Amino acid sequence: METIRRLLIRGARILNPARGEDYVGNILIEGDRVSAVSENLYDDNAEVIEAKGLVAVPGFVDLHVHLRDPGFTDKEDIHTGCRAAAAGGVTSLLCMPNTKPAIDNVDTVHYILEEAKTADAHVYVAAAITKGLQGTELCDLKALREAGAMALSDDGRPVVDTTCLVEAMCRAPELGMIVAAHCEDLFLAKKWYLNEGETSAELGLPGVPAAAEDCGTAREIAVAAAYDVPVHICHVSTKTSAALIRDAKARGVKVTAETAPHYLLMTDRELLKKDADYRMNPPLRAEADRLAMIEAVKDGTIDVIATDHAPHTVEEKSDFLKAPNGSIGMETSFAGAYTALVKTGILTLGELVEKMSVRPAQILGIEAGVIGAGQTADIVLIDENEEWVVDPDKLHGKSRNTPFKGMTLQGKVKVTVCGGRVVYNEL
């Protein structure tokens, strides 16, 4: 879409948690920046979006996205992924490195950043910690940072060699990067289809024990504590991992963490449907784990709601046992989180925006998460009362593997403005 030179968002409830603001007003955008925010603001030369009854919040920042580009563009590419992001109010995202080739070299970083210049969201790159994501040989971290990567991760796999993990975590702060850790003990995980427990027993299928995630989480926390360096824990799904992170934070360890909406709304009982769209890594867990995730979000143990958006083709997901793990999530992230946390009274809308915009922006170290004069014009208009049924065929990315299909969610993104451009409009 063409850039709108002057845009006036009029009559919205402006909810700006980073500055403690909550009032009805107008937002004037010029080019890619917010030029003014005020209760009484007019511009006869601006295009107007009438936003009465809607809430204006800073664009969401998703710290965990698989764009599949390069190498797997039958599943998703940078542009389709960012269209899905826009439909979900995600204006900034961190893409993971398990592409083909992996994001373990300067050329691939350059390719992604160049392609993303015309996409409908700001794309930030998580480069690989180890070559080929094999977990044993460190990449040239300095070169990757100089190429534009903002984070380091071997997501999809843990860093097998702990010495590589230690070096990456120690060097990342000096380079101005974060380490996003996929916590899993591969020896415990082995071959599995779902969470180990009552459901796996009923289906007669091998399950992955929660301990596989917990042991990985404990290792990353131990490194952060021993070397006094930060680490961000990806896709937390177990009650023990949440307890480990809570304890570490209480001891002053520099650890932050994320979970995803599907871990807040679903359990492994969904796998009784034998539908591979409910298979992801880490897997949906037991009810006790789901409740523990909600408590961890509520008490601040979990800093961020992210998606682990992982597209796969319909053909790949058609076989329950052979399908790869992963589910899409950017278009449903706000509504799923709102339904689980705000509709139920666990968080306020402002607290949810804090976890979906303000905190992830702070952790990644990017200009986002706030509405204010001079700031990048990344703004989402939402209707927090609208209920809608998730129809996979109406989603905007290439893939349809959503575990939220058929669910009624509350909270709807109506307009997304990214860098001053209206990239999604449902009004």
- Locate 173 and state its tokens: 């702060």
Which three-class secondary structure state does DSSP give residue 49? strand
d(CA 48, CA 50): 6
- Please give the pLDDT value at position 317: 98
The reply to whether the predicted model has a pTM over 0.85 is yes
How many C-beta atoms surround the C-beta of residue 318 within 10 A? 12
Residue type, 319: D
308 in active site? yes
Q: What is the per-residue pLDDT for 70?
A: 98
* Amino acid of residue 195: N
| Distance separating alpha carbons of residues 166 and 132, to the nearest angstrom | 18
Could you tell me what percentage of the chain is helix, strand and coil, using 3-state DSSP and rounding each to the nearest 5? 35, 25, 40
Q: Which residues pair with 382 in a beta bridge?
A: 55, 413
Show the tokens assigned to 91: 């204006």
User: pLDDT tens for residues 276-310?
Assistant: 999 999 999 999 999 999 999 999 999 999 999 99
Instruction: Encode the chain (427 residues) as per-residue pLDDT tens digits.
Output: 454 589 999 999 999 999 999 999 999 999 999 999 999 888 889 999 999 999 999 999 999 999 999 999 999 999 999 999 999 999 999 999 999 999 999 999 999 999 999 999 999 999 999 999 999 999 999 999 999 999 999 999 999 999 999 999 999 999 999 999 999 999 999 889 999 999 999 999 999 999 999 999 999 999 999 999 999 999 999 999 999 999 999 999 999 999 999 999 999 999 999 999 999 999 999 999 999 999 999 999 999 999 999 999 999 999 999 999 999 999 999 999 999 999 999 999 999 999 999 999 999 999 999 999 999 999 999 999 999 999 999 999 999 999 999 999 999 999 999 999 999 999 9
CA distance 366 to 347: 25
Distance of CA 354 to CAs 27, 206, 234, 275, Å? 20, 38, 18, 33
- 217-248 burial, b at 16+ Cβ within 10 Å, e below that, comes to bbbbbebbbeeebbbbbbbbbbbbbbebbbeb
Rounded Cα distance, 315 and 400, in Å? 11
6-56+375-425 to CATH, choices 2.30.40.10, 1.10.8.60, 3.40.605.10, 1.10.30.50: 2.30.40.10
Q: What are the residue ranges spanned by the domains of the chain?
A: 6-56+375-425, 59-364
DSSP 47: E
Pairwise CA distance, residues 297 & 314, whole Å: 32
The CA R_g of the chain, rounded to the nearest whole Å, is 20
**CA–CA dist 390, 129 (Å, integer):** 36
DSSP assignment of 341-378 equals IITTTSS-HHHHHIIIIIHHHHHHT-S-S---TTSB--
In angstroms, the CA 378 to CA 375 distance is 8
Token pair 């409830």 is found at 13
Give me the pLDDT at residue 3, please: 46
Considering the candidates 185, 308, 378, 383, report the single residue annotated as catalytic.
Answer: 308
Residue 320 one-letter amino acid = F
Q: Strand 151-152 vs strand 207-208: parallel, antiparallel, or unpaired?
A: unpaired
Rounded-to-integer distance, Cα 323 and Cα 317, Å = 5
DSSP state of 227: H
Superfamily of domain 59-364: Metal-dependent hydrolases (3.20.20.140)
CA-angle at 27, arms to 23 and 29, nearest 5°: 160
The pLDDT score that the predictor gives to residue 303 is: 98
Residue of 41, 28, 89 whose CA lies nearest to 62: 89
pLDDT at site 4? 56
**Cβ atoms of 332 and 400 closer than 8 Å:** no
Which pLDDT score, from 0 to 100, does residue 68 have? 98
